[in-house]
Amino acid sequence: MPSHLTHTQCYMDVYDQLPGRMKTQYAQAWERNKIFAQGHDFLLVYMFLHLPSYPKIQKKLALIEENVQEMALHYIAAWRASSRSEEATFFLYGYLIHHFLDAKLHPLIIYETGNLRGDKKAQARHLLLENMIDAYILRRGGTDPKKHKIHTLVTSNKALSAETRSIIDSSFEKTYGIPNFSELFAECNKTTGTFLKAMRYDPWGVKKILLRPLDYLLMGVFKPSILPFRFDGTECADHLNIHNEEWTHPADAAIVCAKSFDELFAEAVTEIAAMISALDRAMAGNAGDEELRSIIPDISSIHGLAAGQKREFANVKGR
């Protein structure tokens, strides 16, 4: 999945394209709502915090990658039975923004880094490229990645309301069999903030120097570095297809694309903003499930193709 800051930037860009009323609501509640952009990635944090349950949670994550439409329908049903609070609405929108940005960008990232499933080195390259892309996003916006406090932008100290927690818990348990997802979300929000401050904020390079021995041990996995310190936003240039060369979809050889990362990102923002705008109108008008399904594509966040089909990643550059 594209990393933390990339999702936050997409979240902000999507809301910039929404109707004025929604933009106003979003701006007023930014500090509380910004964490919603992290979507299901908090499950990854949970997996690493609870290693004994890693295989079980990993299976749940595979379900989450494939069943966003079903979850949204359960969520909207619970939302309609509630007071329909702004916070509960924006949680769903943030979650969908996350899912569909993944769906748009993952094919290029997987093509560049290798088979995401079953290949540990490819998984390490995937993670590292995403960290580099976060720095690239900052640099593209005119911010020095080495000095930016990323932890303040992607996490929040604001607690979710009881109503929002109830809607989240109900819909996620019905869809994925995960009870109390709102507690997991809150726990991993705090843990992510601590981790990012410790591992991604190193303005003077001190941490990188202190952990250099560990860096050398991991050099065989991916060069120049596995540790996510002090990227300046230029390291991933060769992996963003800035020259618009043709590349093959990693899960479907019949799909050939020449779009760059920036073009895919911009395309995702436009498509997601249109989806969220249509969904907001449909929810306000009490649209039925059939109309809601027509608005929310049933696609995987891993490969961006139709959900429910087993896909192998055979067409990869895998640098």
Reported as a single tens digit per residue, the pLDDT across 21-75 is: 787 777 777 777 888 999 988 777 666 666 566 566 667 777 888 999 999 999 9
Q: What is the mean pLDDT of residues 81-101?
A: 95
Tell me the pLDDT of the chain averaged across its residues. 86
pLDDT at 52: 62
∠305-307-308 over CA atoms, to 5°?
Answer: 135
In the predicted model, what is the mean pLDDT of residues 89-116? 94
Confidence of residue 19 (pLDDT cuts 50, 70, 90): confident
Element at 247 (helix H, strand E) = strand 247-248
Cα 197–chain centre separation: 19
Per the structure block, which two tokens stand in for 44? 């990854």
Q: Which residues are paired to 299 by β-bridges?
A: 306
d(CA 315, CA 295): 30
Give the integer Cα–Cα distance in Å for 23 and 16: 7
216-256 pLDDT, tens digit per residue, is: 555 454 444 445 556 888 989 999 999 999 999 999 999 99
**Structure-token match 């929108």, residue found:** 93
pLDDT on residue 53: 63
Question: For residue range 271-304, what is the model confidence (pLDDT) as tens digits?
Answer: 999 999 999 999 999 899 999 999 999 999 999 9
**Bond from prior residue into 250 cis (ω within 30 degrees of 0):** no
User: Residue 30 has what pLDDT?
Assistant: 75
User: Contact, 227 vs 214, CB < 8 A?
Assistant: yes
